[in-house]
Amino acid sequence: MSSSGSARTVDARLSGFATLPWRRIILVVLGSTIAFVTVAGAYKTLTLPEGERYSGDFWIDQVVNGLGQGAILALIALGYTLVYGILRMINFAHGEVFMAGAFISFFFADAYLKSGFLDSNTYLALLILLIVSIAGSTLVAVLLERIAYRPLRNAPRLVPLITAIGASLFIANAFRGFFGPQPYGYPLPTLLQGSIGIFGISVAKVQLLVFVTAIVAMVALQLFVNRSRTGRSMRAVAEDSEIASLMGINVDRIVVITFVVGGILAGIAGVLFALTFQQVQFTMGFKPGIAAFTAAVLGGIGSIGGAALGGFVLGVLQAVGPPLLLTGFGIPSPFSLKDAFVFLVLILVLVFRPGGLLGSGEAEKV
Amino acid sequence: MRAAVRIGAIAGIVTIFLAAVGLIGNFTELNLIGTQVTFAGVMIVTPPLLAGYVAITPRIEAGRLIELGRGQALAAGATAGVLAGAVFGAFVIFVDTFGVERIREVFINISPVLMDYLTQGHPAIVAAAILVAVSVVAGTAGAGYRTLPDPVRRPLGTAVWVTLLFGFLQRIVPIALDQLEVERDWMYSKVTGGLTWVGATVIAAVAAAASVLKARKGDAIRGAIRGQRDRRADGARLTPLTFALMLVGLAVVLIAPHVLGSVISEVLGTVMVFALLGLGLNIVVGYAGLLDLGYVFFFTLGAYSLALLTGATLNTFVGSTEPAIAFNLNFYVAIPIVVLIAAGAGVLIGAPVLRLRGDYLALVTLGLGEMIVVLVTSPWLEPLVGGPQGMRDITNAAVGNFGFRDPKHFYYLAFAFVVLALFVSWRLANSRVGRAWTALREDEQVADAMGVSTTAYKLLAFAMGGAIGSVGGALFAVKIGSLTPASFTVLVSIQVLGIVILGGIGSLPGVIVGSLVLVGLPGLLREFEEYRLLAYGAALVAVMLLRPAGLIPNVRRSRELKDEDREQDKWASDVAADEHVATPITPLGEGAG
């Protein structure tokens, strides 16, 4: 090693630099800055002079909106968590699975609106829309698994991730090719327009529907995973796929079922999202997809309860956080920073509590 | 036979897909050769052709290698063709019965033009029969091609794809020929837009001859150019012939913008900006193995900080205003500052997130990339960077009176920086730092145990990659002279990642080729703009499934892979064995190019 004298000094310098607890220093500085900004921002916002201050009703509205969006996020997040639990991979294209269902159901909704069926038989029409959306999402999810992921089951972990990014681009742009780049207005049945009061709080009817449907779907999922034979197999594969296969479980079949379940949930979320925002477009999968992934990580990825909790928490944070923290600093239109806020939450969770809210907080898992 | 039936059916579905996204109907007028070979025609023929080719892949069944004889192979190809034609024909009949206009209300690209093209005025049943016949011919040809002996097959294949490529490049090659004042009417017809049959024949003959020459004398030629290889070192000795070739190559590169004209120079400028970004990301992803999906962060940072440092102004509806903080530095003073800012930012964002495992790191960086875009758009930073309207009056990096805004001039500025970045990357790869990165990429724990400071080297990779990427951003600002947030989307990150991956992770020539293919081609083929991202996605998936090492694999990396035990590479052979599953994707990747 005598010939590498100069190289060794470089290394010594580098390791000298590295022996300082840089990570910890940066984390502490970052953590205290964020804590300070949060407290100061919230304090300033809430003590704004009368007239500029938000009313109490505003905050209630924000929380209700947040819960509604959180329910949708939770449904998508469950898809991420299920796939991650079984395959230990991030299904980057899951946002597109969600988009597919919403987009396909649009054409039915539009036809029903024109024929009057949507308003005359609202419940039946909504049920059909759900089924169509579920079928579309599930088909895309299964094809995705079969074509893009299965051949790479044992590949180094970055390979399927890159494939997933490619698949995501491909699916979104295939829909653009099929149906065109323009956004379509999704009809809202008359029955769901307006709002009703619950305990003195005014809630939009759509949001009530979203909330109820999402809760029902989550309970059904919980029962399926915990009570059914297939659900037991899924948990076994998630625990250890090799041993599960030795126990006579067909792992390929379980993986497909996982994608189907994820697709069903994404399909439900698709209709709910379309009814809430009344618009579909081929790009609509990206941002909810990332937000839902954040929700899954926030709750602790791989855990079903965590994904549901993460969805609701993130939904509320997203709705309440920007006005609460930013208005006080005089930052104009805080809602334009909503997406940045989601990413900030994602980064902070991964940095400070990588195991998520319900996770064990183990660093190794991440 | 079962395999052939399955692959044929898949090919039929792929053709329907191509029709539904508009790759057939929108290009019925795009003549490649004469008026007979159109892009739409190629799109119809390619899936059954590939199906025929794949259908006869030798496979292992019950421990025996099954290879088909020529007769069987042709039969299998024809079967695949029948199925492909039948599926697609059924689609044509269905659309015809159901009514094009009704389907078009949903599927906007299934248009009367498409149906007119597919039926050519015949009734749907007849048209379907014709499509089946065409498919059978294509499938049989695909299978037949594969059974040809090598000396015939190679030149034939080369001739076909090179000729089609030249037909495809009809907006580029004629312009270049015009600039060179070469007579080109014999080759490219002004009437059809595509190649003439004479031109096609000549190109095919030249391509075939080159292929034969390469097969016969390839080693001798390579030997003469590279000189006798030293057995122990990688470097080749410099022979006079090598030196002369290098000089000629350099001269060609240097006079290129004057020969090719402004349009192509402009595209080449963009290619080089992306090559810079690719070189930067290559350090992070290729050398150190950290997947960064938010590379647009450094691109944006470089562009905006250069604009601020060199005294650009904010766009407003009525004119322009000074930003809240204004500097007025020279471009060449500002660049080192931009690089330092980016390297610092790389360390700052790297430090908290580097402990994360690969896929999490990817998503956090994706988030950072999105965040900076939201920030530059937000009303909050509007007084500094102009919000949605962006900035203008960015320096043209003039030396004396020689500005670099003109595409032909910008080419040289970008070229200089690309060469610099190439040199830095190349030296880094072979240095102690580069080896430390390799160790990190291959096995972090082992590297740590061997005394490589993982944190320091990861941060160094982030800083170096960020620095090079920010130069790309700064040059981009100089090139277009004004900035709007619309240029800085997550697609930039994905495009750069595509360049690195398609070219071959960790390979420098791969980055250059990747940016030429992924940025240069789409830049010149404007009519395919709508399909660019579709092709991108398909290409990313196809490369990962079929050729995970990229177009031009990194030499050291592939050698490492060869030496490793089979276990590690098992997935690659699984991919090869599963090839028939993956193939439906290829025609899109190649066809939409």
Contact (CB<8Å) A157/B359? yes
List the structure tokens of B352. Answer: 């908290």
CB contacts, 8 Å: B293 with chain A: 165
Q: DSSP letter string over B511-562?
A: HHHHHIIIIIHHHH-GGGGGGHHHHHHHHHHHHHHH-TT-SS--HHHHHHHH
B389 versus A128: which is more confidently predicted?
Answer: A128
**Domain boundaries defined on chain B:** 1-147, 150-226, 249-524
Give the dihedral of Cα atoms A258, A264, A269, A270; nearest 10 deg.
120
Structure tokens at B59: 């496979």
In A, minimum Cα distance to B541 occurs at A163
Q: How far apart are CA A285 and CA A80, in angstroms?
A: 13
Based on DSSP, count helices (H) and strands (E) in chain A, helices before strands.
Answer: 14, 4
Rounded CA-CA distance B281/B300 in Å is 14
Nearest-angstrom CA–CA distance, B372 and B489 = 10
Burial environment of residue A319 by CB neighbours within 10 A (0 to 12, 13 to 18, 19 or more): buried
Q: Please report where in the chains the tokens 């698994």 appear, as a residue.
A: A145
Considering only CB atoms, which chain A residues are within 8 Å of B544?
152, 155, 159-160, 162-163, 166
CA distance A149 to chain B (A): 9
Q: Are B534 and A170 in contact (CB under 8 A)?
A: yes
The b/e string for A42-71 (b: 16+ C-beta within 10 A; e otherwise) is: bebbeeeeeeeeeeeeeeebbbbbbbbbbb
d(CA A231, CA A221): 9
Distance (Å) from the C-alpha of residue A134 to the closest C-alpha of chain B? 19
Q: B66 has which bridge partners?
A: B59
Which residues on chain B are in Cβ contact (under 8 Å) with A342? 367
Give the chain B residue nearest A88 (alpha carbons): B359
How far is residue A257's CA from residue A269's CA, in Å, rounded to a whole number?
18
- Which two tokens mark B528? 């395919």
Q: Does B427 contact chain A (CB < 8 Å)? A: no
Q: Which of A23, A147, A333 sits opposite B585 (nearest CB)?
A: A147
Give the nearest chain B residue to A326 (CA atoms): B380
B539 CB neighbours in chain A (<8 A) are 166
Predicted interface score ipTM higher than 0.95: no
Distance CA B537, CA B534 (A): 5
CB contact under 8 A, B457 and A170: no
Q: How far is B153 from chain A (nearest CA, A)?
A: 29
Confidence tier at A332 by pLDDT (50, 70, 90) = low
Out of A19-28, A283-292, B154-163, B178-187, least confident range = A19-28
Q: Do A336 and B367 touch (CB under 8 A)?
A: no
Contact B371 A343 (CB under 8 A): yes
Phi, psi (rounded to 5 degrees) for B106: -105, -55
B364 touches chain A (CB under 8 A): yes
Residue with token string 């919403």? A102
CB pair distance less than 8 Å for A165 and B544: no
Chain A residues inside the 8 Å CB shell of B494: 165, 169
Full strand arrangement of the beta sheet holding B313-315? B320-321, B313-315, B391-392
> At A23, is the pLDDT very low, low, confident or very high (cuts 50, 70, 90)?
low
Write out chain A residues lying below 8 Å of B108, CB-based: 178-180
| DSSP string across B365-390 | HHHHHHHHHHHHHSGGGHHHH-GGG-
User: How many pairs of residues across A and B have Cβ atoms under 8 Å apart?
Assistant: 201
Q: Give the integer Cα–Cα distance in Å for B475 and B467.
A: 13
Whether the per-residue pLDDT at A201 is higher than 60: the answer is yes
Predicted confidence (pLDDT) at residue A365 exceeds the cutoff of 60: no
Considering A3-17, A114-128, B52-66, the range whose residues carry the highest mean pLDDT is A114-128
**One-letter amino acid identity for B254?**
L
Using CA atoms, how far residue A244 sits from A81, A86, A238, A250, B527, in Å, is 19, 11, 9, 8, 51
Asked if the Cβ–Cβ distance from B584 to A147 is below 8 Å, we say: yes
The band of A140, judged by pLDDT with boundaries at 50, 70 and 90, is very high
Report CA-CA distances (Å) from A10 to B398, B425, B453, B455, B456. 38, 18, 12, 15, 12
What are the residues whose beta carbons fall under 8 Å from the beta carbon of A204, sequence distance 6 or more?
A64, A68, A194, A195
Q: What is the pTM of this model?
A: 0.82
Which chain A residue's Cα is nearest to B490?
A286
Q: Output Rg (C-alpha) for chain B, integer angstroms.
A: 26
d(CA A261, CA A53): 45
Q: In Å, how far is A10's CA from the nearest CA of chain B? A: 9
Contacts 24+ apart (CB under 8 A), A46-50: A46/A324, A46/A328, A48/A327, A48/A328
- Chain B (262-321) residues lying within 8 Å, Cβ to Cβ, of chain A: 289, 291, 293
Side-chain half-sphere exposure of A125, counting CA atoms within 13 A: 24
Indicate yes or no: CB of B545 within 8 angstroms of CB of A89. no
* Topology of the domain covering B249-524: ABC transporter involved in vitamin B12 uptake, BtuC (1.10.3470)
Q: Which of A149, A347, A348 to mutate to test the interface with B (most CBs of B within 10 A)?
A: A347
- Say if residues B523 and B270 touch (Cβ distance below 8 Å): yes
- Give phi and psi for B507, each to the nearest 5: -105, 125
Backbone angles phi, psi at A183, to 5 degrees: -75, 145
The whole-number pLDDT of residue A27 equals 73
CA-based end-to-end distance of chain B: 31
Contact between B452 and B310 under an 8 Å Cβ cutoff? The reply is no
| pLDDT for res B176 | 77
Cβ pair A145, B346 in contact under 8 A: no
Give the per-residue pLDDT at A4.
Answer: 43
Residue to mutate among B91, B356, B359, B494, with most A CBs inside 10 A, is B359
What is the C-alpha to C-alpha distance for residues B112 and B103, in angstroms, rounded to an integer?
Answer: 10
Q: What angle do CA B412, B461, A301 make, to 5 degrees?
A: 125
Tell whether the model's pLDDT for residue A10 goes beyond 60: no
Banded pLDDT at A333 (limits 50, 70, 90): low
Separation between Cα atoms, residue B319 and residue B317, nearest integer Å? 6
Average the pLDDT over each of A1-15, A134-148, A349-363, B272-286 and give the range with the smallest value.
A1-15
**Do residue B544 and residue A162 have CB atoms under 8 angstroms apart?**
yes
| pLDDT value at residue B231 | 44
Q: Where are the alpha helices (DSSP H) in B99-194?
A: 100-104, 112-119, 124-147, 150-168, 173-179
- Burial label for A1, CB within 10 Å (0-12, 13-18, 19+), is exposed
Cβ-nearest to A167 among B22, B106, B541? B541
Q: Extract the tokens encoding B322.
A: 């000074």
Q: Could you write out the DSSP letters of every residue in A117-141?
A: HHHHTHHHHHHHHHHHHHHHHHHHH
Residue from the list A14, A177, A326 with its beta carbon closest to the beta carbon of B453? A14
pLDDT number for residue B566? 40
Q: What is the reported pLDDT for B225? A: 60
CB contact under 8 A, A178 and B21: yes
Phi and psi dihedrals of B395, rounded to 5?
-55, 150
Tell me whether residues B374 and A339 touch, CB distance under 8 A. yes
| Cβ(A283)–Cβ(A172) below 8 Å | yes
Helix (H) or strand (E) holding A195: strand A195-198
Per-residue model confidence (pLDDT) at position A132 = 92
- pLDDT at position A19 over 80: no
Give the pLDDT of residue B556.
55
Cβ contact A168–B537 (<8 Å)? yes
Q: What distance in Å separates residue B269's CA from the closest CA in chain A? A: 26
Tell me chain A's radius of gyration from C-alpha atoms: 23
Q: What is the pLDDT of residue B292?
A: 84
User: Under DSSP, is residue A203 helix (H, G, I), strand (E, B) or coil?
Assistant: strand
Per-residue pLDDT of chain B (593 residues; tens, 9 = 90+): 778 888 888 888 888 888 888 888 888 888 888 778 888 888 888 888 888 888 877 777 767 777 777 788 888 888 888 888 888 888 888 888 888 888 888 888 888 888 888 888 888 888 888 888 888 888 888 888 888 887 888 888 888 888 888 888 887 777 777 777 777 777 887 777 788 888 888 888 888 888 888 877 766 766 666 555 444 444 445 567 777 888 888 888 787 777 777 778 888 888 999 999 999 999 988 888 888 888 899 999 999 888 888 877 777 776 677 777 777 778 888 889 999 999 998 888 777 777 776 667 777 888 888 888 888 887 777 777 777 777 877 777 777 777 777 777 888 888 889 989 988 888 888 888 888 888 888 877 888 888 888 888 888 888 999 999 999 999 898 888 888 888 888 888 888 888 888 877 778 888 888 888 888 877 777 777 788 888 888 888 888 888 766 666 665 555 544 444 444 444 445 555 544 444 333 333 333 33
The pLDDT of residue B238 is 59
Integer Cα distance of B582 and A184 in angstroms = 33
Instruction: Name the 3-class secondary structure at A233.
Output: helix
